[in-house]
Each structure stands twice: as C-alpha cells, then as structure tokens.
Structure 1
C-alpha cells in the first residue's frame, strides 16, 4: 500500500509569512483603505483569502470589497512572492522532499491558497513535479480546518487515512488532519507557536524540516504508530 505525506504550503514548505504581509499591505493600498497592522494580517495566514480579506475589512467574505481585495492580492502576489520562491524555501525542504519521493512516499499539498496560486508558487520554487496532487481552497466547499481538503486528497489518490500523515504549521492544518483521521506533524517554525499548535493535539511536534523527514520516515516507511515525541 502506498504511503502518503500531505503538506501545507505557506509556513510549512515556503517561508512566505513576511512576503504575504507585504502582499496584503500592497493590496490594501490598491484598494485605497487603511492597511491593517502586521500582526492582524499575520493572524489571518492559513485562512482562505476571501475570508481573510473579509475579516480584515470587517465585511462578509463574499462582499465586493473583499473580492476586490483578493484580486489585488493576486496581482501583487505575482510581483512580490513568485520571483522569490526558491530563496523562500525553508532549509532542507528541496532535499527532504526529493528523498521522500525516492523512497516511494507519495507527496501531496492541501493549502488554503487558491489552486492556481499554489501551483504557481510550487512551480516557481522548482517543487511542483514532486507532488502527485495539489488541493486548493477553491476546490472544496469547506476549506481547512474542515476535513474536506484532506478527504479529497485521500479519495483522489486512493490512499486510506491510516497510511497518511499531514504536516502543517497552524492549528487549521492539524484540526483538518484530526477530523479526516490522519496523523499529523506540527512544525514550530511557521505561523503558530508550539503552545498554539499543542491545542490542536498533533501526533508529533518538530522544529525543523529535517525532523519532519525523519519523523515521516519512521511513521510511513515502517508504519510506526508511536506517540508524540
């Protein structure tokens, strides 16, 4: 039976939080409205863009102003983030993914980004060919932390939850994993702190991507069902 590792994108594979804040700020500037403080923007990372803009603007996610914000974000995203994609990879990501794939682990992404943006970022970072599937927030009715994204990955690839592990840097990722029946690895180098991540009860918690790979090797290649370390 194939073994599957499902990854979040921002804050897990790519160190994009600072660039995302810059992109949000540029989008708000284009809208001609006051730019929120950086901590306010950072707190929305991991949410679907439409909801993030709605929260930051104080309007409903389907409000026209939020929709305009998303459009402006996507324009600035291509200018501010994509050209820097390779340099924004966390240490060990390129080598770690290559090693996992070489050892027969199937790789996928489940992200709160729209699929096109996620696909473009992975392509710009030179990683797209590593992944059998990329699921974006616009491909599901209920994005993370709802289990639908994880379930879509499992169903599409035909791999049962007990043969899969989710890797993410926010409670949204971990709650999705729990609800979909996946084990999970929380990484502490992304958006949410170790204390925040602990509230979502990850199976394991690690501090570097090298530790992610080591944990996946034990969990998937040996079907280790051990407790959190």
Structure 2
C-alpha cells in the first residue's frame, strides 16, 4: 500500500495505537482461544509457541504454527474455531489500566489519535466500545481495511492515511515485536509496552524507541516521551 504524500506544512501529528495487548488486556485470551481451536482440529500446539505469534495477522500465525504447507480447510476451521471461542469473551473485555486516560491525554496535547487494530470489524467495534474514549479517537482501522497483516506495514500505512499525516509526523504504540517491525517498515517510530508479554530487550532489539511497562506507565512519563507534543507543536 502506498501512502499519499500529504501537504506536511500544516499536517497535525498522529499517534497510532495498536489495540489488542496495547490498550486492551486480550493477549492471553487470544492465546487460550487459539490453543483450544488447534486442539479441536487435531493439532497440539503449546501456549508458549502460540503466545509468541499473537500480534501477527492470522495468516502469518497459521503459517508459523502449522507450516506454510498447511491444509487450507483445516486452517480455515481452526480460524473459525478461534473466532467463535474468543467471541465468548467479548462481553468481558476490559481496557488495560490507564489506556483510556492515555488516549485522552494524547488528544489533549494535540495529537490525532488513530486506533490501528488488526482485529475484524465487529471485534474492533467491541474493543472501541469497551475503551469508551470516542471523544479522543479520530479514526479506527481494522483488518478489513488492508490486504496484508502485521508484520507487514499495511495497517500502519492505512492508519497514516486515515490520520492524514506523513510518517515523520506520527508515532506508533504497540506491545509486540510484530508491531515494532510493522512500524519500522512504515518508517514510523514505535513506543512499546510490556503488556503483550514480550521482554524489554526483545522490543528494544526490534527497534522500539522506548519501552514502558503499561499504558499507565507511559501516561506517567508522557512529558518525557515522544508523545509530549506533536512534531512542530511549540505551544
């Protein structure tokens, strides 16, 4: 996907947020849902291996865990099982501590806040409602808006387009190595959180500009971070 070159003179700054694991406490729910989905379809895959793939798109996850020569019908059945199992949690999904206030603090500082979710449209809608921060969110992208999933940069490019900003006026916030890699390929600096279960060295080694414990931790250090104020804002 090619991002149009906007007029950068008056372009706002945008902060692009991954949602699963970054704003919502969902990583291990996805892990359990995939584990059970694989089991139901005759595949024994450990949760440790599954967890390391959460944050990839489902196609990449299936390639990694079942092999690129996997049976497409079995893969489709596993994906459908995961979606059905995970949907059972929808009414209980909760934001990570500080997530809602972080979004609002970024908006108050002049950032255009865009959610760059790799979830399907209905699943993303559930998480946006749970976040309850519509007043701070300028736009939302979902898996249905792109043709290639993370670690491809397509979701980042789409979020930039929705925000109407070039890469140099944006910051991405994510929780997995796949987020950092996708942002890097889009030439957007990335801040990483430990809430996805990756360690600090792994995230920094992938290229994260800084690593924070959680949304609440990033909020506490907002004034010392890349999110203190949008690029070019000297107010």
TM-score by length of 1: 0.83
Distance 1:164 1:103, change over 3 A: same
Question: Structure 1 residue 3 and structure 2 residue 6: aligned?
Answer: no
Which residue does the alignment assign to 1:212?
218
Distance 2:29 2:16 in 1: 23
Which residue does the alignment assign to 2:30?
20
Distance 1:55 1:180, change over 3 A: closer
Return 92-101 or 116-125, whichever deviates more. 116-125
* C-alpha RMSD of matched pairs (Å): 2.5
Question: Structure 1 residue 39 and structure 2 residue 45: aligned?
Answer: no
Aligned with residue 67 of structure 1, among 73, 76, 91:
76
Which residue does the alignment assign to 1:150?
156
TM-score by length of 2: 0.81
| Per-residue Cα deviation, 1:30-54 (whole angstroms, up to 9, x for no partner) | 43x1342110111110111233234
Question: Structure 1 residue 222 and structure 2 residue 232: aligned?
Answer: no
Quote the offset at 1:166 in angstroms. 0.3
> Does 1 or 2 have the higher relative contact order (CA < 8 Å, sep 6+)?
2
Question: Structure 1 residue 48 and structure 2 residue 54: aligned?
Answer: no
Distance 1:119 1:128 in 2: 11
| Per-residue Cα deviation, 1:51-109 (whole angstroms, up to 9, x for no partner) | 32343233547812111111111111111x212212xx221112222232234321112
Distance 1:50 1:173 in 2: 16
- Unpaired runs of at least 5, structure 1: none
| Per-residue Cα deviation, 1:187-212 (whole angstroms, up to 9, x for no partner) | 12323211111221222222232332
Distance 1:61 1:116, change over 3 A: farther
| Per-residue Cα deviation, 1:146-194 (whole angstroms, up to 9, x for no partner) | 2222111112321122221000111211122222121210112323211
Aligned with residue 82 of structure 1, among 80, 86, 90:
90
